[in-house]
Structure 1
């Protein structure tokens, strides 16, 4: 497959690049200068999934099972660690990741089938991890809502992480689940600077709206953890203490942070973004990222990839812990969700449904 990576600059999107995936064989290059063009329209492909629940063995994330109703994400966050997954679809981790989306249209059916499987053993499931389960197309498709309905019917505990105010649409259902210790919500908070937010996360709601989300959820007794992520040297790291304080004051029970991660194609995409918007500090940012990853922009080693190592990483860690202690907030731990309530409900036609 050929890919035109000629000099296009996309306006209104997170990336300005149609960078090819790492598995592409043929790449077409031209000598045209970069020039602004209209933002591509969002395309949605409907997929009939064969399986939905996936597992991982990573020791530095607090869940083993996850479900993703969508591939790609229209929020367009330039730093998104999931961008490289589009390379497996023979699509660009750049502009394609945020404009050529896949919706697993039969997700609810497959989810229920897998929960009913005789070999399934209940444990918490993380919903919407690779890409945001509440990204804009969810407003119309309502796949995430259907998955939550099934989870509640089976008393299957779930955790969510989002940066979208669309989650408030489902606050009635989340409140019911929270009353039985079946749900935990994570909110990703990057910055309270609206200009920076528009550049980093062009189609996501700003930080001020996310604080309102946290408050609305916590007022309904829905437990919320805030993840300050990603922390980027000399871009948003100066906001650490402000973000911790604002999160706790909005009602967050726990707060954590993640340093910027740049796996595979995310590194050149972020470098391009950095030189475009912050040319005078770009090399300083990149130098500090390398200092945390043994001279490279990223190392995927478990236990280090989320926080980095070295002087600067230790400095951020100390600042974060001091800010959290000042606000008397709990250390981030795995969510205590109740798996003991799980029960496969009878279906129409089941013999037990007659009683």
Structure 2
């Protein structure tokens, strides 16, 4: 053990299909740990990293925020950690609160909240509750692979539909097509909207950045499935990575519009806390020829730093390149008929469904 041990990459054969190279110690730990050879010349083939899931029983599931540059004030996260493994994910540092690494732990040691639907229903029934759009998928993806077996997200949607409660979902997972029936019914009432993230149209680049996310072509197909079911879809070009994916913005918007998207939004690359080191290491391995160029451009966007968390700047960046990208995006969105703003989802339909034993209203 060492007080200042540099993160050591996990052998490539053990992290196949994962995004991070290391399991670097989180920022709250005083001591870093790294693997070391024990001195014995005995071959030891360690197994590939497998996904481990632990259940958590939450007291509440609706998380509130008062950030001035976020458009929603409440959200739900059915899972902590995300098996998609996107190397740029800004949510990685949240694993530090659990005493885990934002690196490979974030992708392999997941927390599921199977009681979330029941807890949500209790919260919605509180006399003090006032409806407003609940955002889902803003931290970790509710449609990551383990949702196929756990079904927590679908159960949450069933609760929201029963209460006619508005919901906005952000995802990269095409498993959302499974819930097109619910989302279509809610969408036609003005109660549901989906944002599908497409960062690149290049399957090879996507596989490197987002190792367990469905291909860009599959995500575009999911847009069509949802829109045909009756649910409006926004394409989210997030994040835009300078010198790596920024040249694709116009093509992504054109493809999304052709698959039924009616709106578009974007966020520039964010590298908070441990994400900066994880992303830098990944760039050096995957794109050594342009790693320095990409990181230098990112620093230009954030006043000479890899990240600036100041409200109003963290999503858009600053400087000439940021202004140019904003202008390019706006032109391409208008050209493809993609709105930047959509009308708010309805809250006036919210009502508590009757339960067994409840006295029925006479009117």
State the TM-score, normalizing by the size of structure 2: 0.93
Cα deviation, 1:107-163, whole Å, max 9, x if unaligned, reads 011000000011100111012221111111111110000000000100011010111
Residue 162 (str. 1) matches residue 146 (str. 2):
no
Cα distance, 1:31 vs. partner? Answer: 6.8
Cα deviation, 1:73-114, whole Å, max 9, x if unaligned, reads 000000001000000000000000000000001001100000
Which 4+ residue blocks in structure 1 deviate beyond 6 angstroms?
1-4
> 1:296, 1:14 → 2: CA distance?
23
In structure 1, the partner of 2:28 is 23
In structure 1, the partner of 2:345 is 337
Residue 304 (str. 1) matches residue 313 (str. 2):
yes
Structure 1 gap ranges (5+): none
Aligned with 1:306: secondary structure?
A: coil
In structure 2, the partner of 1:274 is 283
> 2:47, 2:283 → 1: CA distance?
21
| Structure-2 change in CA distance of 1:2 and 1:345 (3 Å) | farther
> 1:159, 1:222 → 2: CA distance?
11
Contact 1:184 1:335 in 2 (8 A): no
Q: How many residue pairs are counted as aligned between the two chains?
A: 352
Cα distance, 1:313 vs. partner? Answer: 0.8
RMSD over aligned Cα, in angstroms? 2.1
In structure 2, the partner of 1:122 is 131
Residue 181 (str. 1) matches residue 183 (str. 2):
no
Aligned with 1:58: secondary structure?
A: coil
In structure 1, the partner of 2:294 is 285
Structure 2 gap ranges (5+): 38-44
Structure 2 counterparts to residues 192-271 of structure 1, below 5 A: 192-271=201-280
Contact 1:190 1:236 in 2 (8 A): yes
> 2:337, 2:114 → 1: CA distance?
43
Contact 2:25 2:33 in 1 (8 A): no
1:351 to 356, 359, 362: 359
In structure 1, the partner of 2:42 is none
